[in-house]
Amino acid sequence: MFRLVIPERGAKAVEQAHFSEALQGPFADALAGGGRPATEQGVDSCERQVSALAALQRLQSSVEASNDPALGLKAARCQAFGQIGIIDYLVATSATVGHAFDTLARYSNLVNDTLRIERETTDELATIYFVQPIGVMQSCQAQAARAAWDFLLGGIYSSHRATVFCRIQALECWFPYPAPDNLEEHRKTLGETTLRFSNLVPAYRFPAVCLKRSLPRADPKLHDMLCQHAERTQAWLAHGDRMIERVLKLIARRSEPRMPSLEDVAAQLDMSPRTLGRRLEFEGATYTDLVATWRKRWAVHYLSQPSPNLKAMSEQLGYSHQVGFHRAFKRWTGQTPLAYHRRLREGVLSHARPTSTHRYPNPSAQWRSL
């Protein structure tokens, strides 16, 4: 027997939640009067995440500034297919209507890691519930919560009217707030869909027979490829293995003295140099920054040894000529390597040895403290 449970979520857990940055675009379009063209974001857009609290606060400010109770519906109409990235393509390439909603449920945390999507199926009806923990919506006022629900239900419908909802008849859309006096914006967004209000949670309901209907853009091979990419992204987001740490690990573990180029590292990460550069920029760094950070930290460590070999040190740090290392070190510290070493030995400077026993140690654990 199906039993719908609405979870509670503590303040700390809500503070740690994230939404995809791509969700903010349609609201900006709506506030601009819908005049900005919607653009597809590509499969990597879900990796650009913002704090859920920050996003809800921004939504609250937008609702207050616009004084428009229908802002969420207008934003939903601005949301074109592909605007929130890979999840749209995953849904569209699914085999059937049921498969599409199962896929949406499986990968929804790429867009909103607080949302849970559940399906209840009887002999006659299928209901798709969108469950948000109580603490999430309590963090914003009623008008902002309404805008969020309107955007969720209306946005999915707008994005997939031609890929999923074209195969569904007798659709009902359930809203978790009282019926407004004017339904014009609901009709503009959801067409002839039957509207239900004052429900416990938002939902779609439709005849269960629709679940088995095939989709016009079904593509099993492409769908499987997209699923693999989505699962890698989920693992990356879940474990917090940010791109900065991944790049630093590859630099530290290189098997030759030459410092790898951006192109070399991108190839090892199975992505284009442009994508790698964009992800590092999103985390507040560039590849040049990381190379310099790694070199500086380990140059200081090597110079703390009793008799450092500057030529060998230069090679280990990826410099083809010792003079290049001298110039870089003086730029970092204002001193030559030998002067710095001498001051360390005299006790003028203090040095904490990085924790690693590898020949090319991994400084990623220390990156956050730099």
Domains of the chain and CATH, by start: 11-222 (3.90.1520), 241-369 (1.10.10.60)
For position 324, what pLDDT does the model report? 87
For position 53, what pLDDT does the model report? 76
For position 222, what pLDDT does the model report? 97
Mean pLDDT value across the chain? 82
- Per DSSP, which regions of 199-278 are E strands? 203-207
Above 50 in pLDDT, residue 360?
no
For position 309, what pLDDT does the model report? 85
Q: Report pLDDT digits (tens) over 284-320.
A: 788 988 888 888 888 888 888 888 888 888 887 888 7
Whole-model pTM: value is 0.66
Would you say 172 and 204 are in contact if contact means Cβ atoms under 8 Å apart?
yes
Above 50 in pLDDT, residue 264?
yes
* Angle, CA of 106, 111 and 117, to the nearest 5°: 40
Above 90 in pLDDT, residue 128?
yes
Q: Which residue has the tokens 């791109």?
A: 243
- In this predicted model, which residue has the larger pLDDT, 137 or 276? 276
For position 137, what pLDDT does the model report? 67
For position 52, what pLDDT does the model report? 76
For position 260, what pLDDT does the model report? 85
Taking the mean position of all CA atoms in its chain, how far away is CA 3?
Answer: 30
Q: Report pLDDT digits (tens) over 61-83.
A: 888 889 999 999 999 999 989 88
- Cβ atoms < 10 Å from Cβ of 129: 21
For position 98, what pLDDT does the model report? 98
- Residue 287: which residues within 8 A CB-CB, separation 6 or more? 247, 262, 265, 276, 277, 280
Above 80 in pLDDT, residue 6?
no
Above 90 in pLDDT, residue 240?
no
Q: How confident is the model at residue 3 (pLDDT cuts 50, 70, 90)?
A: low
For position 326, what pLDDT does the model report? 87
For position 2, what pLDDT does the model report? 57
- In this predicted model, which residue has the larger pLDDT, 212 or 26? 212
- In this predicted model, which residue has the larger pLDDT, 288 or 52? 288
- Structure tokens that stand for 344 in this block: 């360390």
CA distance linking residue 213 with residue 232, whole number of Å: 29
Q: Report pLDDT digits (tens) over 148-207.
A: 999 999 999 999 999 999 999 999 999 999 999 999 999 999 999 999 999 999 999 999
Above 50 in pLDDT, residue 334?
yes
- Cβ atoms < 10 Å from Cβ of 326: 16
Q: Which residue has the tokens 């859309």?
A: 173
For position 339, what pLDDT does the model report? 87
CA distance linking residue 90 with residue 110, whole number of Å: 12
Would you say 188 and 70 are in contact if contact means Cβ atoms under 8 Å apart?
no
For position 366, what pLDDT does the model report? 36
Would you say 266 and 44 are in contact if contact means Cβ atoms under 8 Å apart?
no
CA distance linking residue 175 with residue 202, whole number of Å: 5
How confident is the model over 352-357, as a mean pLDDT?
Answer: 39
For position 356, what pLDDT does the model report? 37
Above 70 in pLDDT, residue 40?
no
For position 241, what pLDDT does the model report? 57
Q: How confident is the model at residue 7 (pLDDT cuts 50, 70, 90)?
A: low
Percent of the chain whose pLDDT exceeds 70: 81
Would you say 43 and 110 are in contact if contact means Cβ atoms under 8 Å apart?
no
SS (H, E, C) 73-91: HHHHHHCCCCCCCHHHHHH
